[in-house]
Amino acid sequence: MSNHFSKRIEKCLMIGMDTVFILTGFYLAALILGYPFAKLEEQSSSVLITTLVCLLTFYLFDLYGSWQRKSLNNLICSTFLAMMLFAVTSLVMGLLLSWTTTVHLLFIASLLQFVFIVSARLAIWHFARYRNGLKNVLVVSKSNMDGQVIADKFHRHHRGWFRVMDIVTTQHRGSIKKYLKQTDVVIISSEVERSMQSSVTNLCIRYGKEVLIVPRMFEFAIKEADIQQVDDMMVFSIPSNNVSSMHHVVKRSMDIVFSMILLILLSPIMVVVYFLIPLTSKGPAFFKQERVGLNEKPFQIVKFRSMVEDAEKNTGPVLATEKDPRITAVGRVLRAIRLDELPQLFNVLKGEMSLIGPRPERAFFVKQFKKDNSEYMKRFDVKPGITGLAQVSANYSTPVEEKLRYDLLYVRSGSLTLDIKILMQTIRVVLQRDQAKGVVLSPEAEAKPNYGGITIAKHN
């Protein structure tokens, strides 16, 4: 059975399991409240609709994707938010459609469903970690420095999944084979030449080892490729990146509708922040800065000021660090829960930005990033966004090259469904503040722990 087919079966089983738990929650809630079952059966269409709404909500929160090797906290938080949204949606639908189902029934059913679904997912996650966790990892890289960076990411990954054994550079490729006996997973750096990537992959497959490959930027185009044949020659057909005009119309409409709803709902908070910032630090509440947008066209981004006035007067353009002294006390809170980004909803209404897309960057940094990576220019094929795939998948302190991989994946694979998923996941990121930390500086004076025989730079 192929791995792709197995994942489809697992997804179908998860959907079936959730359906059973949702229906069980309704019937147990009716039993607890003494609600007549005959009356509940009369509302079978309402129960069916709410069940479908719940499954759709779970899908939008990516709860039917692979959770192997991911954070348990993220799983619980996403499930909680999905259930909250489902419960609110059910209540609103009940009021609008005049369902006779009581609020008490929906409330108790939601609590029971949450307990059932979270308990089942916890059990599945722990079983997956027991079965597939603590894998011995061998890093294959071009240099020791490149290997250290990759090993450090495994070191910081959620505990219980990986254990780095060693780093082998391309200069010592002959020693890879002897490490395979004690290795479960081999990670190959994107810096390694393609010929060696191929030979190492074939060697690992022969010995039954899992292979992880850090993709190069141009390889994201292959993700959408179809296998075709020209005479007797196999070819990859890579589709153009042109998006239909209907997609643009729908995406623009979604930007306007969601931005207006968010501005109305969040206006009380924005008013409080507007008056709080100048009361606690010298300077205006709003902060404007030129950023580079669609097709490299500059525009003025609007944010709530989170730093002291004229923060870059003496330093010039620099990225914010985790313990940056320029960030005000109020600004630190605003950044942690992303409230400083709210005024960009006006940029979205003006058409300069979208709700979802790569984050807009300053021209000063764009010039630097273009020199380091020519693929960086593909970010400007779409409008910049308030949030994006890189923001829900990576951290603020994630290196530009790693964020670029997520941005390029979005540019190549972007869809309205993915936009909604990212929007839902942004709620989780706001509540889990770890991803909002700034660039981490590692002073040489700090002690460097030894992990699996490898010296790895310490990160806070």
SS3 assignment, position 453: coil
pLDDT level of residue 41 (50, 70, 90 thresholds): low
What pLDDT is recorded for position 99? 61
Q: Give the bridge partners for 300, in sequence order.
A: 290
In CATH, what number does 133-240+446-455 get?
Answer: 3.40.50.20
- When mean pLDDT is compared across 39-48, 201-210, 335-344, 399-408, the lowest value belongs to 39-48
Residues 6+ apart with CB under 8 A from 11: 64
Could you tell me which residue, 448 or 232, shows the higher pLDDT? 232
CA separation for the pair 168, 144 (Å, rounded): 8
330, 332, 309: which is closest to 320 by C-alpha?
A: 332
Position 120 scores a pLDDT of 92
Contact yes or no for 159/446 (Cβ under 8 A): no
Please state, in angstroms and as integers, the Cα–Cα distance from residue 237 to each residue in 170, 215, 460, following that order. Answer: 32, 19, 44
pLDDT grade for 440, boundaries at 50, 70 and 90: very low
Instruction: Check whether 82 has a pLDDT greater than 70.
Output: yes
pTM value > 0.85: no
Q: Where are the alpha helices (DSSP H) in 329-399?
A: 329-336, 344-350, 363-372, 389-393
What digits encode the pLDDT tens for the residues 187-239? 999 889 888 899 999 999 998 999 999 988 878 777 778 888 898 888 888 87
Question: What's the confidence (pLDDT) of residue 272?
Answer: 94
Distances (CA, A) of 250 to 83, 242, 255, 293, 354: 27, 15, 9, 20, 12
The top-scoring range by mean pLDDT among 22-26, 93-97, 444-448 is 22-26
Residue 420, CA distances (Å) to 67, 411, 424, 426, 427 in order: 19, 15, 6, 10, 11
Give which of 354, 348, 344 is closest to 380, Cα–Cα: 354
Per-residue pLDDT, 457 = 30
pLDDT band at 128 (very low <50, low <70, confident <90, very high): confident
Cα 147 versus chain centre, distance: 24
- Cα(373)–Cα(77) distance, integer angstroms: 35
> Tens digit of pLDDT for each residue in 243-300?
778 888 999 999 999 999 999 999 999 999 999 999 998 889 998 999 999 999 999 9
Which letter, b or e, does each residue of 249-274 get, where b requires 16 or more Cβ atoms within 10 Å of its Cβ? eebeebbeebbeebbeeeeeebeebe
Instruction: Check whether 240 has a pLDDT greater than 80.
Output: no
Looking at the chain, the whole-number percentage of residues with pLDDT higher than 70 is 87
Max CA distance (Å), the chain: 75
Strand partners, 347: none
Mean pLDDT of the chain: 83
Question: Beta strands 450-451 and 454-455: pairing type?
Answer: antiparallel
User: What are the residue ranges of CATH 3.40.50.20 in the chain?
Assistant: 133-240+446-455
